[in-house]
Chain A
């Protein structure tokens, strides 16, 4: 029964280089805040890969660790958990993996991390894992912190009690890593101790399950009885079999789990009586408490938090624009260089389709990097827990979570990194609601549209002498977006009617200095995830959009070009204006132009014509494209200059010779863009974060529907 597994047998090194090397699988598991990710980073460095566990929206981080120069192991980082009875979807991944020996990821050995300064609670998970009889080693982390708190641990004694090797370490500075690696390169044993006696009266049932499923031990069989409904690898028949047994033997799962937990704590207390000495327990939290008196103060707490938010917002909004402008310029320069060297449809596809799309993907990298630098620091330092603590009561009213604040506010800069930041929300439902409503916050890409339309119809007057009317309208738009976000969240909370119970119960970590290596690796991980996963979708859509606006049915576009050239010469237009005129005429004949005309009946009630229809289509790539497109359609030569665009738009006449851009039309457009999901990058990132098309599609339908109805109401009301 006790299997002795050698992770990648030592013989592997003596086998010739081309023989397939068996790489041992090691799973890293432990409580949240037990230094698990620091240890993972120390073991694997940059050799990390993010995938996902089959069927769920949980990231699977794996990495290769070199245990000895010629012995490698694959390390899987499992979600942090306090016990083997999962409370969240993230934690469910763990039992799906550990309870299924046939799983591709079933580990040969476990590294169980424990926070030495909070050993009692951390050992609960350890004892459960040890009773599953998987070979393991205990990484006793944060030894320095424990020492500071006056906790001394007798490693020898602990090792004897636990029956597995114990490595004292400090993953933050890397001490103990070498010892851990040496241990892992040797064959590991399963624990010789048992930490929980299954009650006699359960054994009959437990044994039946054990033999039916051919399990290696009773405790695993007990887990099948407790959690068969959550184990995705069991067939319906298997579940039915257990369900009948559970009913027959009147198996009270909740009570039994509670009793087991209490029994385990009693056992842990006994073990620690000899192995751990505490000299000054009362001092533990003092320093953190002092900081908390300021950081969670009812005035200063919020002031400091809003200061942090402001700084973060500034950083994404302002600082990121420098690298973004450079990227933009770089891509533009590269494109014109290529175009000056060669010509033809393929070159156009490469420059205006592929490279422009690639630029569109890379454009987000600075924002993502900056936002995640902030978030990683907030998480690592322990401040994020305080943010949640400060904001929970307010956010809960709207079906959100204290942690939803950061994504929501970041959404004002850009929804893409903001949605990626929802990863930090533990409850799946809260995370989903936050993802769903974040794009309603007015992002920076909406600003160009707001500016042009407001300049067009709102007079440059001042209210009460000091407040600019245009400024008030602009603020109003941001406010509408914010209100739409929180009320949509409240609505969604009612609709979703949760099955998963949401807890707030969480560890309030002490303040720590952030580990810069962890911050750096977080940034790399997030940027990679975005570029390789969401980036594919963005690139594909931008190429499709480019094709739609560059090609038309038959030879319509060539005809339009020739006609426009003749017209331009007849009207003696300046070179820039002539080019603009030709581009406008060509766009009208393209597939995008056809599309605009096709949807015109649908958007006429909102006050739009087919020209705006084209802009709606092309600005799906990114909202700011709207301004560029209407500049092309209305043949504005210099689209960089807001004043020129404004003059040109003002001159547009409707079929009765009246100005086309009436306040009704402009406000209808403004409201449309406040609500509409006009952003393929957001869709791509929601797809990546929810691991499926269901939510991005629902979200797009909801936002577009909201935009359509509101714009309709506004247009009818004003005209």
Chain B
């Protein structure tokens, strides 16, 4: 896994990406169950006023998560 690869954490508000893989084995199951499946489109919807947590739109619904959780969702280049 190259370090330059973008994750959901790096998205700007309104920007979208396609999930490539999840790199935290323990957290990945939770994310998968919540619909963050490789190949799905994901869009950064908003940030909390203090920058963390964020909300994303995936699978047609809004999901909120912390930045360090978002950092484990890698995007396709």
Contact = CB atoms under 8 A, between A and B. Distances in A.
A265 B29 CA distance: 13
Interface residues of B, number: 33
A257 B29 CA distance: 7
A369 to B, nearest CB: 30
Main secondary structure of the interface of B (DSSP, over half): mixed
A143 interface: no
Contact of A507 (B37, B50, B53, B63): B63
Interface string B21-59: 010011111111111011000000110111111010101
Nearest to B34: A505
Nearest to B57: A285
Given A82-B33, A501-B26, A507-B34, A284 B48 contact: no
Contact of B29 (A118, A258, A298): A258
A552 B64 CA distance: 62
B16 to A, nearest CB: 12
Nearest to B61: A118
Interface string A103-125: 00000000000000110110010
Interface in A506-558: 506-508, 510
B45 to A, nearest CB: 7
A643 to B, nearest CB: 47
Contacts of A505: 27, 30-31, 34, 63-66, 69
A423 interface: no
A24 interface: no
Contacts of A319: none
B41 to A, nearest CB: 11
B64 A504 contact: yes
Contacts of B52: 392-393
B4 interface: no
A301 B48 CA distance: 10
Contacts of A390: 48-49
B37 A284 contact: no
Interface stretch (A233-241, A289-297, A606-614, A649-657): A289-297
A297 B49 CA distance: 7
A507 B46 contact: no
A390 B32 CA distance: 25
A304 interface: no
B60 interface: yes
A389 B48 contact: yes
Given A258-B25, A296-B46, A389 B53 contact: yes
Contacts of B63: 505-508
B61 A504 contact: no
B62 A389 contact: no
Interface string A572-597: 00000000000000000000000000
A696 B34 CA distance: 36
A499 to B, nearest CB: 13
Nearest to A85: B29
Given A296-B48, A393-B48, A393-B53, A262 B61 contact: no
> Counting chain A CB atoms within 10 Å of each CB, which of B27, B35, B55, B61 scores highest?
B61
A124 B33 contact: yes
A227 interface: no
A510 B22 CA distance: 26
A207 to B, nearest CB: 25
Nearest to A396: B66
13 contacts: A118-B59, A121-B59, A254-B29, A258-B22, A258-B32, A261-B29, A261-B33, A296-B48, A389-B48, A392-B48, A393-B48, A504-B64, A505-B63
Given A121-B59, A296-B49, 18 more contacts: A120-B59, A121-B35, A261-B37, A265-B37, A281-B60, A392-B53, A392-B66, A501-B26, A503-B30, A504-B64, A504-B66, A505-B31, A505-B34, A505-B63, A506-B63, A508-B55, A508-B63, A508-B64
